[in-house]
Amino acid sequence: MSGANDSFEQAEGATETAQAASSPHRRGPKKHRFTKTQMVLLRYIAGETLLHGGVECSKRQLAEMTGRNVKTIDRCLLGLRREGVIEAQPRYGENGTQLASWYRTVSSVDQGAVTREE
């Protein structure tokens, strides 16, 4: 369990860097491709993709797992989808209610980038 926490803490500086990178007063090139929370989500989804072909979970479950707000998770997942790193497949019940989505990484090349991004 400490491995996940270590990954989470190591990525902490990435969020600050990403926030600074989005500032109009940023100096130099963007240092990291993903934020800390995106890296945590990406590692989790990549691991589940390797083990089970993907993961079925709600944004609320991901928010609880990471200790982040649901809106933050929504933004992070949107960014990962736009980057082409993950796919999200919405699920619906028989009566049309939305269920937890199915998330998976797109390719093994992207999964390899997850470990290099540290």
The answer to the question of residue 6 being in a domain is no
Asked whether residue 2 is assigned to any structural domain, the reply reads no
What are the DSSP calls for 29-61, one per residue?
A: S---SS-HHHHHHHHHHHHHHHHHSSEEE-HHH
Can you give the pLDDT at residue 77? 97
Above 90 in pLDDT, residue 24? no
pLDDT tens track for 70-113: 999 999 999 999 999 999 999 999 999 999 999 999 975 444 55
Residues 85/42, Cβ–Cβ less than 8 Å: yes
- Note the pLDDT tens digit of each residue in 58-72: 999 999 999 999 999
Residue 23 predicted with pLDDT over 80: no
What does the CA dihedral 59, 57, 79, 7 come to, rounded to 10 degrees? 100
pLDDT of residue 1 exceeding 50: no
For residue 17, is it within any domain?
A: no
- The CATH number of the domain holding residue 43 is 1.10.10.10
Q: What is the pLDDT of residue 66?
A: 95
56 part of a folded domain: yes
Q: Which two tokens stand for residue 104?
A: 């998976």
Domain with 96 in it: 37-116
Q: How many domains does the chain have?
A: 1
